[in-house]
Chains A and B, each alone.
Chain A
Amino acid sequence: MAGMEEHPIVQHIPRLRRYARALVGDRHAADDLVQDTLERAWNKYHLWRPGSDLRAWLFAIMHNVFVNQMRSRRLDAEQLMEDPPSPAVRATQLDGIEIADLQRALGQLSLEHREVLMLVAVEEMKYEEIGRALDIPVGTVMSRLSRARERLRQHIDGASQIVPLKVVK
């Protein structure tokens, strides 16, 4: 079976899991999303053009599965928005940012904004690749990203500033 482990799709599974976790937070819900994505990918693999970017293709499939699921399960989507993603690490601070603040702020982002931000920050994809994966123009990637990241910044910095400001007043 070793040969099958080396299938290019299999090599991308850890990254698909990471992105799914960043999108939906809950570990099992995230793996469900990966599983649905993989089922579709295996079924459609004959449609993938060798030489083209397999990662972008897989992320495009995951995006479609995710959007369809969110569309058919509005309630879940709303619940996801309120439920901040579960922590993957146990530290309380990363790069001077309180993780609790970060997660609360992420929970407030729209799914569209979260997708673009995670592809940039976590997947380190180029704007152009993101445009292809999400099937949107690069300009839209840029406007969503700048709004998403600024909103996140305001939440985080606001969270740590509001309390002292009140005290001062």
Chain B
Amino acid sequence: MNKPSEEELHAWVDGELGDARRAEVEGQLAGNEEAAARARRYRSINEALKSLYDPVLDEPVPDRLLDRRRPWTERAGVYAKAAGLVAVGTALGWLAHAFVPLPSGQGVSLARQAAIAYAVYAPEVRHPVEVGADDADHLVRWLSKRLGTDLKCPKLGAYGFSLVGGRLLSGPNGPVAQFMFQDNRGARLTLYVSGQRGDSHQTAFRFSQEDRVSVFYWIDGRYGYALSGEIGREKLLSIANAVYQQLNP
């Protein structure tokens, strides 16, 4: 035969043949211009694909890929144990026991999950969010896609809070979205949106005080919402009302 098999032709292109077989195939290609031309083309395709995607190697790796070495609840435990406790402040007092790895499936209340997430990320100076407010459209699209619903990001300017950005977290029921807001004195609020197990239902506003973190939370359909902050209960309630109204126009 003066023609290599298709698979051998490809193997030759990719340098997968042993010396003896390679020499044979090269001999066959010398007498078969059609196969030789295709082999050159395959090689060009390899090189074009490589040039097309190699630039990704030089892109800076996004923080979110470096940051999540472990599920965030576990990392929170590390933070709490380390000197970070000082930075996070006394808000973490109650968290010492909460950071024992949570048994999976055990219903950690929405309010508590939201308060933990608030206590972990609200004090962050350099990386409070994964995607900043300047890319808000992408943020909402991305989190919507991950949660499988059309999320909306409320506007809280009337209460002196502007969007910082948001991040994706993992909760007991899957992906969780956290939006963060900040006022001009640096006080922060987070809106935590998490899928709920079981049938869809609705609840009234509920309030929970988790040490210094105040949380208003409610369930609407298949999603739970929790607004957390270290601000007075009355003010937080009025903002929670505004959030609810904006999400349900």
Contacts and interface: CB of A to CB of B under 8 A. Distances in A.
Please say whether chains A and B are actual partners in one complex: yes
Interface of A: 4-5, 7, 10, 13-15, 17-19, 21-22, 28, 31-32, 34-35, 38-39, 42-43, 87-89, 91, 94-97, 99, 102, 117-118, 120-122, 124, 126-127, 142-143, 145-146, 149-150, 152-153, 156-157
Given A18-B53, A94-B52, A149 B65 contact: no
B61 interface: yes
B46 A89 contact: no
Given A22-B49, A97-B45, A153-B41, A17 B11 contact: no
Contacts of A5: 66
Interface string B1-31: 0000011011100101000000000000000
Interface of B: 6-7, 9-11, 14, 16, 38, 41-42, 44-57, 59, 61-62, 64-66, 68-71, 138, 142, 146, 170
A146 B55 CA distance: 26
Given A13-B66, A32-B146, A117 B49 contact: yes
Contacts of A39: 68, 71, 170
Contact of A88 (B10, B53, B170): B53
A72 to B, nearest CB: 11
Contact of A94 (B9, B51, B170): B51
Interface SS of B by simple majority: helix
A35 to B, nearest CB: 6
Nearest to B59: A17
A153 B42 contact: yes
11 contacts: A5-B66, A13-B65, A17-B61, A22-B53, A88-B52, A95-B48, A127-B16, A145-B7, A146-B6, A146-B10, A153-B45
A102 to B, nearest CB: 6
A42 B6 contact: no
A5 B9 CA distance: 42
A42 B70 contact: yes
